Amino acid sequence: MTINKAKTFTSMFCLTLLCNSGLSAATNAAQESAEEGKTLGALTIIKKDNPEVTYSPEDSTEQYPIAPSGEVYLPPTAERMELHGQNHQYYPIVTATIPPFFEAPAMDNKNDYISTKENMVVLNPAPEEFLWVMEGKRKGFNDLTIVLTNTVTGNGAPMHTHVGEEAHVLLQGRMRYFLKDEVFTVKAPYIVNIPSMVPHAFMNVHPRPAKLVGIFPESNHWEYDVLAADPFGEPGGETTQAAAFKNAESFNAERHLSELKDWYSPQARAKRLAAYRSQVTEKVWAQDGLRDSASDYTMDSESQHGHGHQQ
């Protein structure tokens, strides 16, 4: 695939807007879902103690602009663009990382060898959507990074890639994947093998929040590239809409970055669930334990079948 490098200039301008508004759009999504709760009697926000995001926009530097989600979003480098062109046909929008603001442990006492949620990096891509990242270089690992998630129904991760292989481990629940240009659903317990630079996406299609574990055995740092593709399709339509974005000439930085920012919104979440329902039988939908309407799911994990947010 040939990538038009001139488009990266537009991307850099839009990235500034993205980081200022936040990829998560957490505040806007919370307000929108609260408004919908008034009209639908379904989407509501329940306040409770949530983990504090490790890095905030106030910690930003010129080199590392931090979004409200706690991550840094930068244009992919020329080398990374070339790597994408060698491996697949999707267009990379941003490279996401964690700010490198930390002191490496001395590894001279037992606490340096133990990682708990209290000393991991906390990210917040959306209301009630949290990631706890054990970035290997912060805990003495040479080639390992692990992430723990709280993934609410209908959420997960948009299309992205990693340099280095990844494994997903889930002990309870059910997850829908896009991997190797196929869409499929897997019931836990399972392990999914995700090869290096293979585009993939996933979403929780179980009524309870998913406690997914992501393992990166070839990297001691957190990094991924988000791609301009919607892998889960439209209700009643094709399983994947990604083909529309395979041609780099069709890439529109402002439009795709806006879509990326809104990926975790209540509307996008309900849309994904509606698409899933249109693609499976009523029997499968019922077996998953999902409710009659996609809009019956709140942004709050506690209200999902009465199961509280676990930390």
* Structure confidence at residue 57 as a pLDDT band (50, 70, 90): very high
What is the CATH classification number for the domain harbouring 101?
2.60.120.10
Nearest-Å Rg of the Cα atoms of the chain is: 19
1 occurs within a structural domain? no
pLDDT tier for residue 233 given thresholds of 50, 70 and 90 = low
Q: Which residue has the tokens 């997960």?
A: 156
Q: Which residue has the higher pLDDT, 234 or 178?
A: 178
Q: Does a structural domain hold residue 2? A: no
| For residue 185, pLDDT beyond 90 | yes
3-state secondary structure of 277: helix
Mean pLDDT, the chain, whole residue set:
78
Distance CA 75, CA 101 (A): 20
pLDDT band at 148 (very low <50, low <70, confident <90, very high): very high
Find, among 291, 306, 265, 207, the residue nearest to 34 by Cα: 265
Residue with tokens 């499929």: 184
The residues with which 214 forms a beta bridge, in sequence order, are 147, 168
> What is the total count of domains within the chain?
1
End-to-end CA distance of the chain: 43
pLDDT range class, residue 243, cuts 50, 70, 90:
very low
In a domain, 167, yes or no: yes
Asked if residue 55 is part of any domain, the answer here is yes
Does residue 264 lie within any of the structural domains? yes
Across residues 120-127, what is the average pLDDT? 91
Domain boundaries, position 107: 7-303
What is the model's pTM? 0.80
Reported as a single tens digit per residue, the pLDDT across 213-227 is: 999 999 999 999 999
